[in-house]
Structure 1
Amino acid sequence: MSLYVLKVVSVAVAAAVPIGLSIQADGGDRQPYPVAKTVSLLPGSITYPLPGEFLKGGRPQGNPRLERQLGKPLEIMIYQVGAADYAACVAAGSCQPPQETRAIPRDSPVTGVSYLDADAYARWYSKATGDQWRLPSDEEWAFAAAERFAGEFEGVENDANNPARRWLTSYKAEVELNIKPDPLPRSRGSFGVNSRGLADFSGNVWEWTSTCYVRTTLATDGVGVASSVDNCGVHVLEGRHRAYMSNFVSDGKSGGCAVGTPPDNLGFRLIRDHAGWANRIFGWLGIV
């Protein structure tokens, strides 16, 4: 019997595999690791404020808002990656322990993790499940967050000739929102579900994205870009407002945020680009 036939036979006993488990693509032992619950979003468009810093004539500018189109479906985790899930990566030796020393509920999201930690988990989780997982881009995160997306924390004024005035109005607007620190991570689902069926967007856990910080100088005539410099040592975080942090930072209060109160906690959720061959077959059979 050929190796190919043996693999087909192994799939025939898929009904015996518990829901949410996958097997190795090489036909070896199945890996008893649960696949996260996800929602698949249809393509669509959003009006999106670009991340990063924008300057013209050496003065800060408001972030341009553009209509952006996502041209393919997006499959994203319903919940942020949990503390227990991340602990499995630590136990496997593929992730660093989170910088979280408080006693938190086991079903709360993992916090105290840097961009480097989140990226390491995505790589480990891809191997553990046989699927391809990654951090969302900032644009994808904004699309998934829908009405929960806040973007840059900006005031009502954007006077290019007086950037201090813009800062003062931003500060005043934030004070009026009366957002108080909320440092203790809570059980999943505590911040409700948005219109896309996804939980805990813009709660007290800011989420890492794969988007690098960009410093853009606009042309003096107001048309086009004079220069743009990526800094991929800093990545974009999204939550109650947009923030920027160095890749190694795991505590939002340690600095790095642009405008607005520092993030209470740093966590993440992942996108599945495609399922592994075994999980695709399980899906067709209706058992995952």
Structure 2
Amino acid sequence: MKFVRDLSPPVRVLMALLAVTIPAAHADAGTAGPAVALAGATDGSALEKALEADPGTRTEIAARAEALGLALIEIAVGKAAESQKALRIAGGGKPFRDCQEAEGCPPMVVVPASPPGFKIGSPEGEEGRLASEKQTEVSVEAFAISTRPVTVAEYKACVAAGGCDQPEWLERGGQHNIETGTSRYYAVLGEHLTNPGQPVVGVSHENAQQFARWLAENTGQRYRLPSEAEWEFAARAGTTTAYWWGDAPPSAGRPQAVCEDCGTEWDMKAVAPAQSFDPNPWGLYNVHGNVWEWVADIFCDDYASGPRDGTARIADDCAAVGNRPPMRGLYTMRGGSAFFPAKSMRSAMRLRQKPDFRNISVGFRVARDLAP
């Protein structure tokens, strides 16, 4: 199910600024030209290809994007001191980096602002639903998010620069160090832990925050952890089902994610490479399963009591729910993992942990404000 919106004032302004005289024909007779490509565009990827094929169709593309619940947005790409303006489709557009992967920058995609009536949480009839997933309407501003969890290579760049502590499996003198420690907890994963393209795991909430702060300092762009609302909006990619592909969990004949019972070679054994399986319609990989992802928010049982503007809950002031005392000092993880069942990787699923918790299936992805 897709959300559709009317043209918003910012998009009308953008369209006016981009207005140009469009040639009567975009291609020779008998050739499928850019106009044909635009006419058949039904998602962000197709719209961006149409824009690349004929920049003169920007006005039509902006309108077409808005009709699809997406947007054409101008952003600054690169380190702030040398950034360049670029047009991107928000919601399925081409990824960008603000620096090279070797410098620690993950690929990012632009996510559109949420439409009126967007709800976080799950409907009461959703299989596997928890009481902490009460639905509520929120408003999310357009932002950027990494296409997949931060990798070992990217995190190691932060460590080498002095911006991040080592992950638990490389912690000097630690029992879980894969080279010198007494524990085999991480070591048994072998290359599924250490390969540069694997999602970095064994990182705490503070480690994830360290990486985001370092990336912000390194690029001059406003990197951070996504809020719960942002994460869920990006994971859903315009859908209202349990998973971005629908309500049915993956199966052995239809591998779409890694979980306890997803039918892949990694199930209950190891995490898959960070960019595995098909991305969701907005270009995000592995939002379901593989590794739990830290987000910025303090965890409260009452999801609906959080901010309505899409920002993170930062006040540790959860109210008591039922007969349980109020929770304190816990942070939120989203997305499920290779070691949890499929129902735990639904778009609305939430998990709580202490901020210093580290594990073989806990990682993170980063978000970025569009304005420096």
- The residue aligned with 2:279 is 193
Q: How far has the Cα of 1:96 moved from its partner?
A: 1.1
1:141 aligns with 2:228: no
CA 1:148–1:119 in 2, change beyond 3 Å: closer, same or farther? Answer: farther
Aligned runs of 1:1-288 on 2, under 5 Å?
A: 22=79, 33=103, 35-45=105-115, 46-49=118-121, 63-70=133-140, 72-100=141-169, 101=178, 102-103=190-191, 104-146=194-236, 147=239, 178=261, 182-216=268-302, 233-240=329-336, 241=344, 242=349, 243-251=351-359, 265-274=361-370, 276=372
TM-score by length of 1: 0.59
Distance (whole Å) between structure 2 residues aligned to residue 265 and residue 245 of structure 1: 13
- The residue aligned with 1:261 is none
8 Å CA contact retained: 2:80, 2:221: no
Distance (whole Å) between structure 2 residues aligned to residue 125 and residue 148 of structure 1: 32
Q: What amino acid does structure 1 have at the position aligned with 2:120?
A: Y
Secondary structure at the counterpart of residue 198 of structure 2: coil
Secondary structure at the counterpart of residue 69 of structure 1: coil
Secondary structure at the counterpart of residue 267 of structure 1: strand
Secondary structure at the counterpart of residue 212 of structure 2: helix
Q: What stretches of structure 1 of length at least 5 have no aligned partner?
A: 1-19, 26-30, 51-59, 152-176, 219-224, 252-263, 277-288
8 Å CA contact retained: 1:144, 1:196: yes
Q: What amino acid does structure 1 have at the position aligned with 2:150?
A: V
Q: How big is the alpha-carbon RMSD for the aligned residues of Structure 1 and Structure 2?
A: 3.4
Q: What stretches of structure 2 of length at least 5 have no aligned partner?
A: 1-76, 83-98, 123-129, 170-177, 179-189, 244-259, 305-317, 337-343
CA 1:73–1:61 in 2, change beyond 3 Å: closer, same or farther? Answer: closer
Distance (whole Å) between structure 2 residues aligned to residue 266 and residue 44 of structure 1: 27
CA 1:88–1:275 in 2, change beyond 3 Å: closer, same or farther? Answer: farther
Segment of structure 1 superposing worse, 83-92 or 93-102: 93-102
Distance (whole Å) between structure 2 residues aligned to residue 250 and residue 190 of structure 1: 23
Give the paired residue count: 199
TM-score by length of 2: 0.47
Segment of structure 1 superposing worse, 102-111 or 241-250: 102-111
Distance (whole Å) between structure 1 residues aligned to residue 288 and residue 157 of structure 2: 26
Q: How far has the Cα of 1:119 moved from its partner?
A: 0.5
Deviations 1:249-280 (A, max 9, x none): 011xxxxxxxxxxxx6111111111354xxxx
The structure with higher relative contact order (CA 8 Å, sep 6+) is 1
- The residue aligned with 2:64 is none
Q: What amino acid does structure 2 have at the position aligned with 1:209?
A: V
Distance (whole Å) between structure 2 residues aligned to residue 37 and residue 207 of structure 1: 17
Q: Which consecutive aligned stretches of 4+ in structure 1 deviate over 6 angstroms post-superposition?
A: none
CA 1:248–1:199 in 2, change beyond 3 Å: closer, same or farther? Answer: same
CA 1:190–1:149 in 2, change beyond 3 Å: closer, same or farther? Answer: farther
More strand as a share of residues: 1
